[in-house]
Copies of this chain bind each other. A is one copy, B any other.
């Protein structure tokens, strides 16, 4: 009769026994703490390799951190479909892995985001959170801060928020984009901006405004439209601009998504983008290269932003000094939607 062996993984106790030491010693070896002779260390490591021992995660997190970062997917997790978020997540995952961290995903359910986050943090499932689309006076951030939940936000740091906010250099990007439109001869340049709740919105505006005022021009309020974030919002915004007596000859859209909508509106109005009106988007999602005509846009290093977010959040969690961060530069990718001012 064969003794049925329960299939289970090796524990630290198994390693200790086999190596003839106490579990403490094994722990010391594995964590590089305590003092252990080279010989003992060797023996322990040998056994660890033999048994393919890997410390149980739950047991570890009971005494320290869970080495897990949390992310809540907006729109019932549908938001992940947007290339912007997808690449950000890729960057996050990658950078986190380099520090031994993993990413826990949660769809946003019935409850509000900060409740889910707080719950995940209080149960010790995650050490900190990434907040997407940071807003001005973001109440999610306020709630999390009050609950003592560490977090970083995607978006410019804003006065009302206690958390670090990381973003692209949208001001610089808007500046070079607008300048390039001016260089092409355009004077009536419009801005289809993000909702003003988003902290990123003002960054864009600042760059846009600077490009105009640096040449002594005025910013025409009628040429600035605050839109939503969807393609339809971009369409509506463009229609609003076209309805004006003196419409724009060039448009800067705060996102590719908005720009796509604007393209639709222009086409519907019988205006040819890239000939009659110049258009610049922001983000450079894959689709941007494949529209007709291909969209001139500001390329955003989304992966790098994801990595920066991970580094910052992990530093926060491990109580190390936060890494310095300068907003990530955008690059103007000139395609076919920009053109000189027609006579």
Seen from chain A, the residues whose Cβ lies within 8 Å of a Cβ on chain B are 7, 9, 52, 54-62, 66, 68, 73, 76-78, 80-83, 86-87, 89-91, 93-94, 97, 102-107, 109, 119-120, 122-125, 148, 286-287, 290-292
In the complex with contacts A89-B105, A90-B107, A93-B107, A119-B80 CB distance below 8 A: no
Q: What are 29 A-B pairs at a CB distance below 8 A? A: A54-B122, A54-B123, A56-B62, A56-B123, A57-B66, A58-B60, A59-B62, A73-B90, A73-B93, A76-B94, A77-B90, A80-B80, A80-B86, A80-B87, A80-B89, A80-B90, A81-B83, A89-B105, A90-B107, A93-B106, A93-B107, A97-B107, A97-B109, A102-B106, A103-B105, A103-B106, A287-B287, A290-B290, A292-B292
Closest B-chain residue to A123, C-beta based?
A: B57
- Chain B residues whose C-beta falls within 8 Å of the C-beta of A290 in the assembled complex: 287, 290-291
In the complex with contacts A104-B104, A105-B89, A291-B290, A124-B77 CB distance below 8 A: no
Is the pair B287, A119 in contact by a Cβ cutoff of 8 Å? no
- Chain B residues whose C-beta falls within 8 Å of the C-beta of A109 in the assembled complex: 97
- Chain B residues whose C-beta falls within 8 Å of the C-beta of A9 in the assembled complex: 122
Q: When chains A and B are docked, how far (Å) is the Cα of A78 from the Cα of B93?
A: 10
Copy number in this complex?
2
- Chain B residues whose C-beta falls within 8 Å of the C-beta of A82 in the assembled complex: 86
Q: When chains A and B are docked, how far (Å) is the Cα of A220 from the Cα of B193?
A: 55
Known: A7-B148, A81-B87, A81-B90; 8 extra A-B contacts, CB below 8 A, are A9-B122, A57-B61, A58-B61, A73-B90, A82-B86, A104-B104, A286-B287, A287-B290
- Chain B residues whose C-beta falls within 8 Å of the C-beta of A76 in the assembled complex: 90, 94
Closest B-chain residue to A95, C-beta based?
A: B107
Q: Which of B7, B58, B60, B94 contacts A66 (CB 8 A)?
A: B58
In the complex with contacts A58-B58, A86-B81, A287-B290, A93-B66 CB distance below 8 A: no
Closest B-chain residue to A85, C-beta based?
A: B86
Whole-angstrom distance from the CB of A128 to the nearest CB of chain B?
Answer: 15
- Chain B residues whose C-beta falls within 8 Å of the C-beta of A120 in the assembled complex: 102
- Chain B residues whose C-beta falls within 8 Å of the C-beta of A122 in the assembled complex: 9, 52, 54
Closest B-chain residue to A81, C-beta based?
A: B86
Q: When chains A and B are docked, how far (Å) is the Cα of A89 from the Cα of B85?
A: 13
- Chain B residues whose C-beta falls within 8 Å of the C-beta of A105 in the assembled complex: 89, 93, 102-105
Q: Which of B58, B78, B291 contacts A90 (CB 8 A)?
A: B78
Whole-angstrom distance from the CB of A125 to the nearest CB of chain B?
Answer: 4
- Chain B residues whose C-beta falls within 8 Å of the C-beta of A119 in the assembled complex: 54
In the complex with contacts A104-B104, A148-B7, A123-B55 CB distance below 8 A: yes
Is the pair B107, A94 in contact by a Cβ cutoff of 8 Å? yes
Q: When chains A and B are docked, how far (Å) is the Cα of A148 from the Cα of B68?
A: 24
Q: Which of B87, B89, B124 contacts A58 (CB 8 A)?
A: B124
